[in-house]
């Protein structure tokens, strides 16, 4: 029997190990999210393609494949785009504009409030999904 309340699946991509692990723990405990963590853009992209999440929380300044490149490549590899949330140390309207152009739905400068991210993840479950 299918779970009537499936947990949100979340992929966190951040090269700051402590920040990624702290947010992952917060989301697991707070909303019971199924959370995976990657610490560079290439591994994050492989993980997202192998098992597409509902939500991706991604840093912009990542090694090997930055967050902007990640978002652009992801759009061409998945039939349905997950909710993309940028959480980055880069502030300013220029970088935010680049992030939105790359496909991010939300943009936060670190340190981002994990409760706000949690609310966005919960609201992602309410977004209309494309029919199978």
List, for residues 27-64, the tens digit of each pLDDT value.
999 888 999 999 999 999 999 999 999 999 999 999 99
Assessment of whether the complete model's pTM goes beyond 0.75: yes
How far is the C-alpha of 96 from the C-alpha of 114, rounded, in Å? 19
List, for residues 69-123, the tens digit of each pLDDT value.
999 999 899 989 999 999 998 888 999 999 999 999 999 998 899 999 999 998 8
HEC per residue, the chain? CCCCCCCCEEEEECCCHHHHHHHHHHHHHHHCCEEEEECCHHHHHHHHHHCCCCEEEECCCCCCCCHHHHHHHHHHHCCCCCEEEEEECCCCHHHHHHHHHHCCCEEEECCCCHHHHHHHHHHHCCCCCCCC
Domain residue spans of the chain: 9-112
CA atoms within 13 A on the CB side of 82: 28
Q: Phi, psi at residue 55, to the nearest 5°? A: -140, 140
CA–chain centroid gap for 45, Å, is: 11
Which pLDDT score is estimated for 124? 78
Question: Could you tell me the fold of the domain covering 9-112?
Answer: Rossmann fold (3.40.50)
């Amino acid at each position: 029997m299918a779970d009537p309340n499936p947990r949100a699946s979340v992929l966190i991509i951040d090269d700051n190990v402590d920040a990624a692990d702290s947010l992952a723990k917060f989301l697991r405990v707070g909303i019971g999210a199924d959370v995976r963590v990657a610490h560079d853009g290439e591994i994050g992209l492989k993980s997202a393609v192998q098992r597409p999440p509902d939500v991706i929380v991604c840093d912009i300044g990542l090694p090997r494949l930055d967050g902007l490149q990640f978002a652009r490549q992801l759009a061409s590899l998945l039939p349905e785009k997950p909710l993309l949330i940028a959480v980055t140390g880069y502030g300013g309207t220029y970088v935010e504009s680049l992030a939105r152009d790359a496909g991010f739905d939300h943009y936060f400068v670190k340190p981002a409030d994990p409760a706000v991210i949690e609310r966005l993840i919960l609201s992602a479950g309410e977004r209309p999904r494309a029919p199978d």
